A = this chain, B = another copy of it.
Amino acid sequence: MRITGLTVADVRFPTSRALDGSDAMHRSPDYSAAYVVLATDDPELSGHGLAFTNGRGTEVCVAGVRALEPLVVGRTLEGITGDMAGFWRSLVSDDQLRWLGPEKGVMHLATAAVVNAVWDLWAKQSRLPLWQLLAHLPPEEIVAAIDFRYIEDALSPDEALDLLRAARTGREARELQIVADGYPAYTTSAGWLGYDDEKVVALVREALADGFQHVKMKVGGDLASDVRRAALIRAELGDGVLMMDANQVWNVDEAVAAMRVLGEFDPWWIEEPTSPDDVLGHARIRQAIAPIRVATGEHVQNRIVFKQLLQSEAIDVVQIDACRLGGVNEVLAVLLLARKFGVPVCPHAGGVGLCEYVQHLAVFDYLSVSCSLENRVVEWVDHLHEHFRYPAVVEHGRYRVPRDAGYSIEMLPPSLAEYAFPDGHAWTVAEAALA
């Protein structure tokens, strides 16, 4: 099967109108995506992938995808899957494009959209959900999908192979169990910074009623307000689990000072206490605020930074993002790094399409890498799922395991048309209202 064409769309949802998704760093996001479709010479099969963005600037990511087009169109799926690591490196190491990263920022988001579309295509061709394709690949093929450049000092291909082989024990039983029970989720929908206290309390009650045992709140506004909201939420939660997320708003010392105060509310983790680039800063914060656990990852640019966060014992929770990292190939590297260092992976989700993506990654991690659910939960935000052909489903606080072939990221044509930027109806109507 040959990839015969690539199209990329700028799709934006006007979420800022209700302050959904507001946090200390992103006060009015419009959840958006650079949305990629790979056409093939089989009219029944196409590969879909997206990079999640935040509104303005999605067009820059779209331009990044277009720059990658010549590296994928014209190739056969078999040629790509026969040398997955080589394919991945060809995208991140093009000798002219590489200057724009390397392996970070816009070009890495674009890489993720394209790489994930290839995996979606492969899974569909195999008639399997992505998690199952991954779980059924031999360990040698998983290892052959990973570019070990710059991480071999922490994880060699041989070590990775040993970890995967050891994890085969009991996989069938785990698969039956996870399909029956689902994967534990936590909710972020209750604690956005832009919501007022009444709305937060109502949403926490609703989350508990829905079966969630973990609730995350945004912090990093002003400290008095954080304390007031944390007290409200803790009172509602009782012994339930409360996580906090500062979205990078603090310096190292500010993070330590704030968490010494907010520690009173017994947070299970503090997420993104400072810059995602600051490995040594996370290590210092973690030491200073123990036993509060430190989490980060949605902005961790690549496997090289995750490697260092793990080597320096800077974090307790690895929050992979399905399209911040350069797609499935690099996620596999980070799952194995986390396994080697004994740190749980709790994927970042929300936005648009991230829940659809990461459910596959979490299930694969459980089946074939970590083999554990201990201290592991996947983020869940309950909006925008209606735009997907195979939306992620959470019931009683657990993700249902996806059963449809592919990577679950295919959006519905009416949604793509309605939210196309700037010409879709959702945007022309808003423009008309402002005029």
Task: Tell me the chain A residues, 305-320 only, with Cβ under 8 Å from chain B.
Answer: 305, 307-308, 311-312
Task: Tell me the chain A residues, 84-111 only, with Cβ under 8 Å from chain B.
Answer: 93-109
Contact with B along A4-38 (1 / 0, CB 8 A): 00000000000000000000011111100000000
Question: Chain A binding site: helix, strand, loop or mixed by DSSP?
Answer: loop
From B28, B61, B98, B148, A95 is in contact (CB under 8 Å) with: B28
Contact with B along A234-253 (1 / 0, CB 8 A): 00000000000000100111
Is A304 interfacial (CB 8 A cutoff)? yes
B153/A57 in contact, CB under 8 A: no
A148 (CB) vs chain B CBs: closest residue = B251
Give complex CA distance A415, B324 in Å.
38
Given A28-B95, A96-B30, A284-B153, A103 contacting B53 (CB threshold 8 A): no
Given A95-B25, A105-B106, A106-B106, A57 contacting B100 (CB threshold 8 A): yes
A298 (CB) vs chain B CBs: closest residue = B99
Is A279 interfacial (CB 8 A cutoff)? yes
Most chain B C-beta atoms within 10 Å of own C-beta, residue among A60, A104, A253, A312: A60
- Interface residues in A, total, Cβ within 8 A: 62
A274/B150 in contact, CB under 8 A: yes
Given A277-B305, A308-B280, A106 contacting B107 (CB threshold 8 A): yes
Given A150-B281, A277-B305, A304-B278, A100 contacting B105 (CB threshold 8 A): yes
Is A213 interfacial (CB 8 A cutoff)? no
**Shortest beta-carbon distance, A206 to chain B, in Å?**
27
A251/B57 in contact, CB under 8 A: no
**Shortest beta-carbon distance, A254 to chain B, in Å?**
8
On chain B, the residues within 8 Å of A152 by CB distance are: 251-253
Task: Tell me the chain A residues, 180-224 only, with Cβ under 8 Å from chain B.
Answer: none
A28 (CB) vs chain B CBs: closest residue = B95
On chain B, the residues within 8 Å of A64 by CB distance are: 57, 60, 106
Give complex CA distance A281, B150 in Å.
9
**Shortest beta-carbon distance, A152 to chain B, in Å?**
5
**Shortest beta-carbon distance, A364 to chain B, in Å?**
26
Most chain B C-beta atoms within 10 Å of own C-beta, residue among A27, A99, A252: A99
Is A275 interfacial (CB 8 A cutoff)? yes
Is A127 interfacial (CB 8 A cutoff)? no
A302 (CB) vs chain B CBs: closest residue = B277
On chain B, the residues within 8 Å of A96 by CB distance are: 26, 28-30, 54-57
On chain B, the residues within 8 Å of A27 by CB distance are: 95
Is A67 interfacial (CB 8 A cutoff)? yes
A153/B281 in contact, CB under 8 A: yes
Give complex CA distance A64, B278 in Å.
24
A25/B284 in contact, CB under 8 A: no
Is A59 interfacial (CB 8 A cutoff)? yes
Give complex CA distance A61, B95 in Å.
16
Is A116 interfacial (CB 8 A cutoff)? no
Is A46 interfacial (CB 8 A cutoff)? no
A25/B150 in contact, CB under 8 A: no
Is A63 interfacial (CB 8 A cutoff)? yes
A308 (CB) vs chain B CBs: closest residue = B280
On chain B, the residues within 8 Å of A302 by CB distance are: 277
A279/B281 in contact, CB under 8 A: no
Q: Which 9 A-B pairs have the closest CB atoms?
A: A105-B105, A54-B99, A55-B96, A106-B106, A56-B96, A153-B252, A63-B63, A150-B275, A277-B304
Name A's B-contacting residues (CB within 8 A): 25-30, 52-57, 59-61, 63-64, 67, 93-109, 148-150, 152-153, 248, 251-253, 274-281, 284, 299, 301-302, 304-305, 307-308, 311-312
18 CB < 8 A contacts A-B: A26-B96, A26-B99, A29-B95, A53-B99, A53-B100, A59-B67, A60-B64, A60-B106, A101-B106, A103-B275, A104-B105, A149-B251, A150-B252, A150-B274, A153-B253, A277-B302, A279-B280, A280-B312
5 more A-B contacts (CB under 8 A) besides A30-B96, A102-B275? A25-B98, A26-B95, A57-B100, A63-B63, A150-B252
